Structure 1
């Protein structure tokens, strides 16, 4: 191993976030210079919540990076303390007493579909902590390597960021539903779930050629929004009430009481027709 365990696959991890079209907001950053390496700890936020991107820039300019949810970063911070204590208990490097794989101490962290392998290793260039990130469904491994002498400095920088940005992390939901799409006639409707410092929301967009409009519905309003839509759906499905049949126009058999304002000698067939016309007009106005 010619370098302190640094990898060059971090760009694949970066593309995983960028290719999903998620808008990222940078909240804070810290830079550490440890031996010949620079490390950037960036607190970022997208619609799924907050996370920390750890980027390593080697002396040769190579860049590698891993991503940590804030809860994972807190667990990693605790492991850094344990690894640092273990490192302090070791004596000077002894080339005759090095494990075959170079590993002095190992731990593993599991966060949803990601696994992180922490290995304190030793090679001809010294001792270092290699942190590898893998995804269970496959894909390249990304990793960074922290010189052992810098683990405490790295832990302290991570702690500062966590103290500042983890206080309201409970308000952020890391696993929001994926967006949905619906095509109706010549229109496209998009349903996207996001979140900001005010909470979770749904953005409903209507898209046509050269036209786009959208509304935003806060999560707390979803049940009422759903109930109103369901009520309209139920009402539009109900058959219209049938109109009552008009009274009989025939002269025999009696189809109901005759109007009381009929004058003697008036044509008996005209008034029922007039009455029917008025009744139909009234029904239409109802």
Structure 2
């Protein structure tokens, strides 16, 4: 189970309206998936910032979206699976205890990077970096969310004085909805390998924040760069059956095509063109290509995981 859906779900509730766009220029009122459901929400006012903790659910399971809105209207957000939110809640307790043990701020004793304490959480293809920092405005906990293989970084900054209040609000939501992420929990099939002439094909099953997928990789030796050249496509799980049917249909057509030369010499055999026309079903020329895989297009590159 991955932490969230596609990562582009917008903040759509009226509580966010009128706040414009976030620091990165993302419109939080767009891209909402209709199948996403908001189950509960909490709002915290900590110093000059507002924080919204939204429990949401979609076809991949439940997660908590944490949105920070600064005094200037800027927004940022991170997404936590329910199990990750529980781990974060426990870290908040330890960070709060450490913060309480600190004396008054002393500019001469602060590290160059400002970090006083750091932790890291790992969930599927996401990393979360927790850094208690100090600068001229005070002490705060910065929570950064990154994708393990590149991608944008998002983060929220929680004033240190509000860590206990934030932890208690998070605990209330976890008590109500549990720490079960939902979604697929079975064991994924092992990868397969196929060699044809000088080519190697690899079939790997994986899971990321968009769901389960199959990555089909082709590895071809390249004399120009003295190394192997790899290309890949990803096929979402919901398209596997249709993908298989299309390949099976092409296999049947090619089997009939290979059998035609032998039939051509039999007395009374129909011409090849006539047999080919009768063997193929009627085709709707108005059918859109996207109907092969509704609401999902095949990617021409490896998945972002």
Task: Give the TM interval when normalised to the shorter protein.
Answer: 0.5 to 0.7
| Paired residues for 1:66-81 under 5 Å | 66-81=78-93
Q: Hey, what's the Cα distance between the residues in 1 that align with 2:78 and 2:171? A: 17
Which aligned runs of 4 or more in structure 1 are off by greater than 2 angstroms?
A: 7-12, 169-179, 181-192
2:56 match: 44
Q: Hey, what's the Cα distance between the residues in 2 that align with 1:171 and 1:143? A: 25
Match of 2:158 among 143, 146, 153: 146
* TM-score, normalised by the number of residues in structure 2: 0.54
Residue 171 of structure 1, CA deviation: 5.0
1:100 match: 112
2:184 maps to 1:173: yes
2:150 maps to 1:133: no
Residue 139 of structure 1, CA deviation: 1.3
**What are the Cα deviations for residues 86-142 of structure 1, in whole angstroms up to 9, with x where unaligned?**
000000001111111000000000111100000000000000000000001211110
- The answer (yes or no) to whether the contact 1:130–1:143 under 8 Å persists in 2 is yes
Residue 190 of structure 1, CA deviation: 4.7
Structure with max Cα Rg = 1
2:8 maps to 1:8: no
- The answer (yes or no) to whether the contact 1:9–1:140 under 8 Å persists in 2 is no
* TM-score, normalised by the number of residues in structure 1: 0.58
Aligned pairs, number: 183
The answer for unaligned runs of 5 or more in structure 2 is 1-21, 186-206, 213-235, 250-282, 296-305
Match of 2:39 among 27, 33, 38: 27
The answer for unaligned runs of 5 or more in structure 1 is 1-6, 193-286
**What are the Cα deviations for residues 130-164 of structure 1, in whole angstroms up to 9, with x where unaligned?**
00000012111100000000000000000110111
2:131 maps to 1:116: no
Residue 11 of structure 1, CA deviation: 3.8
